[in-house]
Structure 1
Amino acid sequence: MRLRKIQNTPVAVTELGFGASVIGNLYRVTPADDATAAVDAAWDAGIRYFDTAPHYGLGLSELRLGAALRHRPRDEYVISSKVGRLLVPNEQPHGVDTEGFVVRDDLRRQWDFSRDGVLRSIEDTLERTGLDRLDIVYLHDPDDHWQQAAEEAMPTLAELRDQGVIGAFGAGMNQSAMLARFLRETAADIVMLAGRYTLLDQSALDDVLPAAQEHGKSVVAVGVFNSGLLSRDRPAEGMKYDYQVAPPELVARALAIAEVCATHGTTLPAAAMAFPHTHPSIINVTLGMRTPEQVGRNVELHDQHIPDGLWDDLRAQGLIRSDVPAERGRGRE
């Protein structure tokens, strides 16, 4: 699995990353043995970048990922987690978490991008994972907290990076406009961009990707299937796009892209995974992986050859923007 370096940092990540939200029981229960087996399968496939967060399963994802990685050589992998949602005792539990994870709600999330909140969150994550350090720390969805995130959280993470406590830091969001602000106006090294540079949405070309190029910073792409619509060879009515049922016009566009993929001897999900790598600032695509079978499928899709002519044809037919860069070609940096 090839490595790409986060610009101006010592941290390098594999081009395919393991997203650990699903092993925190996202939407349904994942047995503990399946979660461990998925991490082991990812390791055996050469994946060395693993992403988690306190939000994922109210700490369950961090607990499981830390346990699965604890016996691995620490210098051979990169782990990222997030700050901004502290986990605190829930005085009024309902029995099950209400934010998409099938876990008990004995804890609740509390927004906090203060200096103390960041330091406490990192300390709590290290305790849950049992690891000695985090390589990358992201602010998690600071959409409604720009001032505190930019004025307190980012300087705190910059100090930790400069002290060598963490290797790199940034922010992760479902929008690109504020991520561009973080790249331009703070010391962030990297951002995690969810769903805004895909075969169906290239809006990041208007803000975050030019900002990354201009300032010599890096981008991790997640949500490349846009909640599922790009995950199958033949998209169908009723599939999800950005967490909602996809409108018919988007289903039709996804089908049209799938037809072009077929003429080039590839599939829609393989192209969806390869597409972010057309931009030189994007160094990694991270996907949720719940089972060894999902790991195997994702690795197989990642390894498929995508001919450069596919992007040319999609541009020519107006199915992706005309300013999408030519295929960069993946390689070690």
Structure 2
Amino acid sequence: MNPVRLGRSGVFVSALGFGSAAIGNLYRAVDEETAFDAVRAAWDAGVRYFDTAPHYGLGLAERRLGRVLAELGRDEAVVSTKVGRLLVPTPNPRGRRDDAGFDVPADHERHWDFSADGVRRSLESSLRRLGTDHVDVVLLHDPDDHWNQAVEEAYPALHELRHQGVIGAIGVGMNQVRMLERFVVETDVDAVMLAGRYTLLDQSALEGMLPACRRRDVSVLAAGVFNGGLLAVDDPPADAMYDYATAPEEIRARARRIAEVAQRYRVSLPQAALAFAAGHPAVAGVVVGARSGEEITRDAALLARGVPGELWRELRERGLLRADAPLPGSAAQ
């Protein structure tokens, strides 16, 4: 868990980060004590970087995370949250449930807002939910359809907040590589959170974004390294998820082939998934979601284990890794 600097900022993150979407009731509800135990287990495993967003459970993830970090030691943690979706009270919720994948009451609505005022209002609301007077990192969240406003209004607002010392580092979090590459090249962000595009199954970030990060000294926070769940187990079931949908059979078959090679080296599929993403020289940390203490404890233990270099070479030889993918550890030579 040796801390790594984000870009040229003064913010350092642990090698493993805790993603809080699951404790915001992503897909299904998590009771409060189980959610709290997941954060505590992450802390006990050495995790000191915690990522959240207003989007996660309509603020539930921020509230839960903030409550536990206040107990554990907020000043020892590095916290990132996101801007771009303002939470506005729903006029007449009438018992409705959220329709964006979170098992929570629809008592608020998400309004896209990448204006400078929207950034400040969103951050102020996040601070209240987190119960803290500062966050360390702020990321623009999914500006896919909002490039102009994000780069012309939201980014300058974050740049100014960083200049004033209100926040320590700024960046962008997305599931795509093309716009992230534009942010890396055209702005002065410290980090990008890349979800699902640098994994054992998808290395599309190698085509431009990751090289740009290396040239510009921008750190990568690798999220979605299990591609939605498919790489989280050794034998992916027929209903395994891949990028928020049921995995196509050809993708599941590829995961099984990777698992078969890994098992010959006594490496599990999730262990290989974590090690591969963490092994790129632009990656400062890997961020994983967990809805229980057992999940995050397992992932921390897997990331700490060594992976034989021969595994990566065999995957490359079999066409299961791109030929231009840097091989983690000594195999990178």
User: TM class, shorter-chain normalised?
Assistant: over 0.9
- Contact conserved, 2:139 with 2:173, CA < 8 A, in 1? yes
Instruction: Give the aligned partner of residue 147 of structure 2.
Output: 146
Aligned counterparts, 1:81-100, within 5 A: 81-93=81-93, 95-100=96-101
**CA drift at 1:295:** 1.7
Inter-partner Cα distance in structure 2 for 1:239 and 1:27:
14
Task: Give the SS at the match of 1:170.
Answer: strand
Q: Deviations over 1:40-82 (max 9, x none)?
A: 1111111000000000010011011001101333331100000
State, as a whole percentage, how many aligned pairs show the same letter.
54
Inter-partner Cα distance in structure 1 for 2:28 and 2:247:
21
Instruction: Give the aligned partner of residue 24 of structure 2.
Output: 24
**CA drift at 1:84:** 0.3
Instruction: Give the aligned partner of residue 228 of structure 2.
Output: 227
Inter-partner Cα distance in structure 2 for 1:148 and 1:198:
30
| Counterpart residue identity of residue 293, structure 2 | P
Inter-partner Cα distance in structure 2 for 1:212 and 1:38:
32
Aligned counterparts, 1:117-196, within 5 A: 117-196=118-197
Instruction: Give the aligned partner of residue 55 of structure 1.
Output: 55
- Contact conserved, 1:279 with 1:328, CA < 8 A, in 2? no
- Contact conserved, 1:154 with 1:187, CA < 8 A, in 2? no
Matched, 1:248 2:249: yes
Inter-partner Cα distance in structure 2 for 1:115 and 1:327:
40
TM-score w.r.t. structure 2 length? 0.96
| Counterpart residue identity of residue 145, structure 1 | H
Instruction: Give the aligned partner of residue 115 of structure 2.
Output: 114
| Counterpart residue identity of residue 193, structure 1 | L
Task: Give the SS at the match of 2:171.
Answer: strand
**CA drift at 1:92:** 4.2
Task: Give the SS at the match of 1:213.
Answer: helix
**CA drift at 1:306:** 0.8
Unmatched 5+ residue regions in structure 2?
none
When residues 15 and 322 of structure 1 are mapped into structure 2, their CA distance, relative to the original with a 3 A threshold, is: same
Matched, 1:305 2:306: yes
- Contact conserved, 2:275 with 2:328, CA < 8 A, in 1? no
**CA drift at 1:328:** 4.1
Task: Give the SS at the match of 2:37.
Answer: helix
Task: Give the SS at the match of 1:320.
Answer: coil
Structure 1 range deviating more: 189-198 or 89-98: 89-98
Inter-partner Cα distance in structure 2 for 1:54 and 1:320:
35
Structure 1 range deviating more: 292-301 or 204-213: 292-301
Instruction: Give the aligned partner of residue 77 of structure 1.
Output: 77
Aligned counterparts, 1:207-222, within 5 A: 207-222=208-223
Matched, 1:33 2:8: no
- Contact conserved, 1:280 with 1:328, CA < 8 A, in 2? no
- Contact conserved, 2:172 with 2:191, CA < 8 A, in 1? yes
| Counterpart residue identity of residue 42, structure 1 | A
Unmatched 5+ residue regions in structure 1?
none
Instruction: Give the aligned partner of residue 274 of structure 1.
Output: 275
**CA drift at 1:162:** 1.1
| Counterpart residue identity of residue 263, structure 1 | R
- Contact conserved, 1:278 with 1:324, CA < 8 A, in 2? no
- Contact conserved, 2:309 with 2:329, CA < 8 A, in 1? no
Instruction: Give the aligned partner of residue 11 of structure 2.
Output: 11
**CA drift at 1:326:** 2.5
Q: Deviations over 1:273-311 (max 9, x none)?
A: 111122100111111111111122111221221112211
| Counterpart residue identity of residue 240, structure 1 | M
| Counterpart residue identity of residue 172, structure 1 | G
| Counterpart residue identity of residue 67, structure 1 | R
- Contact conserved, 1:88 with 1:110, CA < 8 A, in 2? yes
**CA drift at 1:241:** 1.1
- Contact conserved, 1:96 with 1:102, CA < 8 A, in 2? yes
Task: Give the SS at the match of 1:290.
Answer: coil
Inter-partner Cα distance in structure 1 for 2:122 and 2:107:
17
Inter-partner Cα distance in structure 2 for 1:3 and 1:168:
15
- Contact conserved, 1:240 with 1:246, CA < 8 A, in 2? yes
Inter-partner Cα distance in structure 2 for 1:246 and 1:69:
35
**CA drift at 1:235:** 2.1
Structure 1 range deviating more: 40-49 or 291-300: 291-300
Task: Give the SS at the match of 1:80.
Answer: strand
Instruction: Give the aligned partner of residue 66 of structure 1.
Output: 66
- Contact conserved, 2:276 with 2:327, CA < 8 A, in 1? no
Q: Deviations over 1:24-53 (max 9, x none)?
A: 111111111111111111111110000000
Inter-partner Cα distance in structure 2 for 1:237 and 1:211:
37
